[in-house]
Structure 1
Amino acid sequence: MAKKYTVDELNGLSKESMMVVILSMQEQLEQLNQNMERLIEQIAVANNQRYGRSSEKLEVMDGQLNLDFIFNEAEALTETLYVVEPAEDDVLPAKKKKQVGKRDKDLAGLPVVEIPHVLSEEELTEIFGVNGWKQLPDEVYKRVKVEPAVYTVEEHHVAVYAGRDNQTIVKADRL
């Protein structure tokens, strides 16, 4: 391993010393390039031996099935027998449609806690102006809240407001 020079040491070297250092670095660089080319060649040879055509020419080993026999047998059977293909309805199962109201049925026996989400009069006045709004029916969604050994359905009522001009619709913030 060659000596490592600092910036101050390089600044203090004479022209002849710098030439010697640069020439030695060129020799090291050439050796590194040759080593790298040899390694690339060795890797290529190893990959060729491992994955090349010669690896595909294996003879049948004991205990292993011969694929040629299997494929030839299948061809022989199809040539001698006429196979009736089943209908598409027999092969593919029918798609099940979602039942309407199934979620409501599943949640019917659980206790319900209603959680309102509304905007204050000040917020509505700021958005729409004085008496510039009307309340539409609430948007209702349900979430199942799971606590250990207790299931509770939270029914969120989100207030929906519309301007009298029917151009702007605002929903209350959700938690």
Structure 2
Amino acid sequence: MPTQPTPDTPGVNDPGPGRRLGVDVGTVRIGVAVSDSSAVMATPVETIARDSGFRGPDGSDVDRILELIQEYGVVEVVVGLPRTLQGHGSQSVKHAREIAFRVQRRLKRAGSPCPVRMADERLTTVSATAALRASGVSEKAGRKVIDQAAAVEILQAWLDGRQRVVDKHNP
């Protein structure tokens, strides 16, 4: 029986204050969001064309994620782990894990202490799509930003969970 994909828990082994980068990995695009320096609010950054496969060297997508980590001075990377409502791995889990692995490997090679975490992202794309529709963004225009919006949802959920842990330990 295959093991269920298990997301990390916000706030566990927390690197402390600083910006976080949220990543929504798709088969075609990668949405990216970043938090403010106090790790309270997530905002969209950009959508990156996906070009790293399961074999061969890292693509420009991984290079760009690493550039953004450097540019924003990120202390933690949060990659969405796409699971079904029952908690099972969706077919996209291997894509998310592959990108997370490649980013973590490159960070380690560079001597960076920045951890890469996997966060539960059930229904984030559905929620992001509904939010865009409710704000009047057309479906065609929404395709250009849906991955960023999903990354915001992933990162904001992580930040909120992290804040609950921080508040519990620092009343």
Q: Which bracket does the TM-score occupy, shorter chain normalised?
A: under 0.3
Bigger Rg, which one:
1
Which structure is richer in relative contact order (CA contacts within 8 A, separation 6 or more)?
2
